[in-house]
Amino acid sequence: MKGLRLMENFKIDVDADGIALITFDVPGRSMNTLTGSVMDEIPQWVERIKSDDAIKGAVVTSGKTSGFCAGADLGDIAGGMIGGTSLQDAFDAGWKMNGALRALETCGKPVAAAINGLALGGGLELTLACHYRVVGDSPKIQLGLPEIKVGLFPGGGGTQRLTRLIGVQAAMMAMTEGKSFRPNDAKGASFVHEVVPVGTEVEAAKAWIKGGGKAQQPWDDKGFKLPGGGPYHPVGVQNFIVGNAMIRKQTYGNYPAATNLMKAVYEGIQVPMDAALRIETRYFIKTLMTPQAQAMIRSLFLSKQELDKGAVRPAGVPKSDPKKVTVLGAGMMGAGIAYVNAMAGIETILIDQTQEAADKGKAHVEELLKKRLSRGQLTQDKYDALLGSITATTDYDLIKGSDLVIEAVFENREIKADVTKRAEAQLAPGAIFGSNTSTLPITGLAEASVRPEDFIGIHFFSPVDKMMLVEIILGEKTGEAAIAKSLDYVQKIKKTPIVVNDGRGFYTSRCFATYVAEGLAMLEEGYAPALIDNIGRMTGMPRGPLEMHDDVALDLSVKVAKQTAIDLGDKYVPLQGAEIVRKMVEDLGRYGRKNGMGFYDYSTKPKTLWKGLSDLSPVTINDSTPELVADQRQRLLYRQAVEVAKCWDEGVINDPREADVGAILAWGFAPWTGGPITFIDQTGLKAFVAKADEYAERYGDRFKVPQFLRDMAAEGRTFYGDFAGKQKAAA
């Protein structure tokens, strides 16, 4: 069309039937995302569809093999929305997508989406603005609006279109959970029209247009009725009464996005679509400007993405591609590692002391693979190949040819030393030995190695198949090649890595322990156990400190404490509540969730607090005033953040991105804060130090901050400010 400049991200082909095929293909990227330039071009091809008489209808599809669209490029889009000089500037930037997609659905010609890969966030919102949606029948395809996971909610019409398609209750559940749907589930939920064989999506979409597809959305029809009813419907009103309570229960008020999402839906469904989209945009911009959203976007999107792509990988070391990995120890952890290896296409040797133990580990992998097979996520041939890639054995000779050995045996220095020597005897030069220890210093374990430059910590989290973080720990003699190869391995198994320096408990285990220990300190002080765990959940942690201690196992804590006492001698200082835990384990046989007895009893569902706990620690504080709860919430967060500052001071960790992402992914540090470093920065260093000093006076030196933090506070510096300065200087 005359006057239309060539587009970089979209290609338009009009066939003999007058159907325009709009192919979305961002150059230089493996996956389509909604960048600023993409947003500039959408109105262009929408105008082309509308005004070109030769075009009778249009099909939107992806030119990528990896997916349709993974959503907005938040580093690009969000910066423009919060970087304006006024609220009007921010609204105009936020409205850009809503305005473009509204123009698409009102262009007067039928538009179908041929979804040939995953469509998430803004990617799905683009398809919802089309009049018809066809999806390929592939278990790899996911459809969803996951924005809540980074502190936002859908801002491209998703709150209004999805609700009008599937009703308030279903839409709110999908959006507040960030739920992803497989193709047939999406069709069953009524926001996809057809599921067709892979490769026929465009053909099916064109067939709908040629068959007389209607160029109007249901909500633009005068007779449209909202599925399930709106806020003044006898049934529909319950969605908001119950939904408001559920959001409060799930978020404890920590996530403005969830509350603003419900407001946008509540207000939006009562007005025509044009007004509804303006309401959504206002609440979206309001949410985007909150500290919580900005913190979560930085840590859980931008920083995580940078780490996933190898931001901390040593430069100058050739890229490696591990083909064969040996796992020593076939318990739950070792079996979990074998599973993620198999899923990444890595041949795995799974070794244990007995064939029975090795087979049991492989059987666990088989269970996980069977779940995927039953869900249609694997074919039988693929299932057989993955299971066949794992060899369960007791034979150390089979280690030969491995690029990497991961030791996941019992947390005992002597046992680890023995398997290290036996395994290294089979390794070729340049192969890496990684210990999955969660607490024992790597430098000490490396003393058993004849090649300490190739010895490194590779710390997984349980359950391995679900936990996305891997903590890489450097010993004093660990070489750059070992670091690079370890990071290449983590990238291949699709986990997020952080790299930390050696120290007892490293970074994650050490800081996580303070959350549990502070909960035990509250128990010793006489706080009611239920109050302790409720306060823990209210901070935004995934569980209270007592129930989380049950999850990681009380007997493990006792074993770690004993090993630490042996290693440190006179310098050993027991953590708070250590004696209570020792009595529970050694005198009462209460090991936690794994044997059904810990701080909680698990013989009934739901679990109940153990009644005998009051005999070990009598309750004297059961007061849940708002002031007390707010203070103790801060106490739990501050205790963890102070320990992170101590780790920084001691050189255990020195990158704010790794500190924040690692804390959230490893032990669930309140995601709404963006992580402990962001928590300190956003609190303000002066205010943080002052509050920590107050807690130190009340509870002890464990809250005392390092001197460097006082210096930073006095100089008006921040962690991320210093980091940005270093990056700029390096560039």
Give me the torsion for CA of 249, 254, 256, 257, rounded to 10°. Answer: -70
Q: Is 306 a catalytic residue?
A: no
What is the length of the chain? 731
Task: Kindly name the residue from 41, 471, 547, 643 that is annotated as catalytic.
Answer: 471
Helix/strand/coil for 511: helix
Pair of tokens at residue 691: 């509050």
Distances (CA, A) of 619 to 112, 193, 347, 610, 726: 63, 58, 54, 13, 50
Q: Is 631 exposed, middle or buried (0-12, 13-18, 19+ CB in 10 A)?
A: middle
If residue 133 lies in a helix (H) or strand (E), which one and from where to where? Answer: strand 132-136
* SS3 of 32-56: CCECHHHHHHHHHHHHHHHHCCCCC
| Cβ–Cβ < 8 Å for 48, 11 | no
* Dist. CA 575–CA 558, nearest whole Å: 11
Distance CA 355, CA 61 (A): 51
Spatial contact of 36 and 72, defined as CB atoms under 8 Å apart? no
Q: What are the structure tokens assigned to 535, written together?
A: 């306060």
HSE (side-chain half, CA atoms, 13 Å) at 304 = 25
Q: For tokens 């419907």, name the residue.
A: 233
List the structure tokens of 395: 């034979």
Element (H, E) at 10: strand 10-14
C-beta separation of 676 from 688 below 8 A: no
The residues that are catalytic are: 471
